[in-house]
Amino acid sequence: MTSIEKRYQAFCETLPESVDVEAAKERLLKQHVETPSWGYGAMGTRFYTLHKPGAPRNVFEKFEDAAQVQKYTGIARSVAIHIPWDKVDDYEELKQHAQSLGLSVGAVNANLFQEDDYVWGSLTHPKAHVRERALAHLAECVDIMNKTGSTILSLWFADGTNYPGQDDFRARKHRMEEGLAKTYAMLGEGQRMLIEYKFFEPAFYHTDIPDWGLATLYAKKLGPKAQTLVDLGHHPQGTNIEYIIAILIDEGKLGGFHFNNRKYADDDLTTSSINPYELFLIFNEIVAAEQDPAIELDIAYMIDQCHYIKPNIEAMIQSVVNIQTAYAKALLVDRKRLKEAQENMDMIEAEECLVEAFNRDVTPLLEKVREELGVPANPRKAFRESGYMARIIEQRSR
> Toward a second copy, which CB reaches closer, 1 or 309?
309
Nearer to a second copy, 94 or 289 (CB): 289
CB-count burial class (<10 Å; 0-12, 13-18, 19+) for 6:
exposed
The answer for residues whose C-beta is within 8 angstroms of residue 3's C-beta and 6 or more apart is none
119 forms part of the interface with a second copy (CB under 8 A):
yes
Q: Residues 160, 113: contact at Cβ < 8 Å?
A: no
Any contact of residue 198 with a second copy (CB under 8 A)?
A: no
165 lies in the binding site for a second copy (CB under 8 A): yes
Between 22 and 116, whose beta carbon lies closer to a second copy? Answer: 116
CB contact at 8 A, 312 and 61: no
Q: How far is the CB of 231 from a second copy (least distance, A)?
A: 14
Are 231 and 196 contacting, i.e. CB atoms less than 8 angstroms apart? yes
Q: Does 388 bind a second copy (CB under 8 A)?
A: no
160-161 and 206-207: which strand pairing? antiparallel
Q: For residues 210 and 195, what is the distance between their CA atoms, to the nearest angstrom?
A: 11
The answer to whether residues 177 and 183 touch, using CB atoms and an 8 Å cutoff, is no
3-state secondary structure of 359: helix
E strand or H helix that includes residue 276: helix 276-290
What part of residues 234-263 is at the interface with a second copy (CB under 8 A)?
Answer: 236-240, 242-243, 246-247, 249-251, 262-263
Q: How far is the CB of 284 from a second copy (least distance, A)?
A: 8
Residue 274 sits in the site that holds a second copy (CB under 8 A): yes
Question: Among 40, 72, 120, 301, which residue sits at the site for a second copy (rule: CB under 8 A)?
Answer: 120
Among 157, 283, 327, 358, binds a second copy (CB under 8 A): 358
Cα–Cα distances (Å) from 183 to 134, 189, 226, 318, 371, in that order, read 10, 14, 10, 35, 43
Which residues lie across from 121 on neighbouring strands? none
Q: How far apart are the first and last CA of the chain?
A: 47
Residue 350 within binding range of a second copy, rule CB under 8 A: yes
Examine residue 181 and tell whether it contacts a second copy (CB under 8 A). no
Considering only residues 43 to 72 of the shown chain, the ones binding a second copy according to CB under 8 A are 44-48, 50-51
Q: Smallest distance, Å, CB 147 to a second copy?
A: 27
Of 186 and 247, nearer to a second copy (C-beta) is: 247
Pick the piece of the chain touching a second copy (CB under 8 A) from 57-65, 75-83, 133-141, 358-366: 358-366
Q: Residues 83, 142, 353, 369: which binds a second copy (CB under 8 A)?
A: 353
Q: By CB under 8 A, tell whether 341 contacts a second copy.
A: yes
State in angstroms the smallest separation of the CB of 87 from a second copy: 17
Chain residues 70-109 in contact with a second copy, contact rule CB under 8 A: none
Nearest approach, Cβ of residue 275 and a second copy (Å): 5
3-state secondary structure of 109: strand
| Binding region for a second copy (CB under 8 A) out of 30-38, 67-75, 133-141, 353-361 | 353-361
CA dihedral in degrees (49, 51, 56, 58; nearest 10)?
60
DSSP state of 57: S
Closest CB to a second copy among residues 19, 288: 288
277 binds a second copy (CB under 8 A): yes
Of 20, 140, 143, 201, which one interacts with a second copy (CB under 8 A)? 201
Least Cβ distance, residue 90 to a second copy (angstroms): 28
For residue 374, state whether it binds a second copy (rule: CB under 8 A): no
| DSSP secondary structure of 307-341 | -SSS-HHHHHHHHHHHHHHHHHHHHTS-HHHHHHH
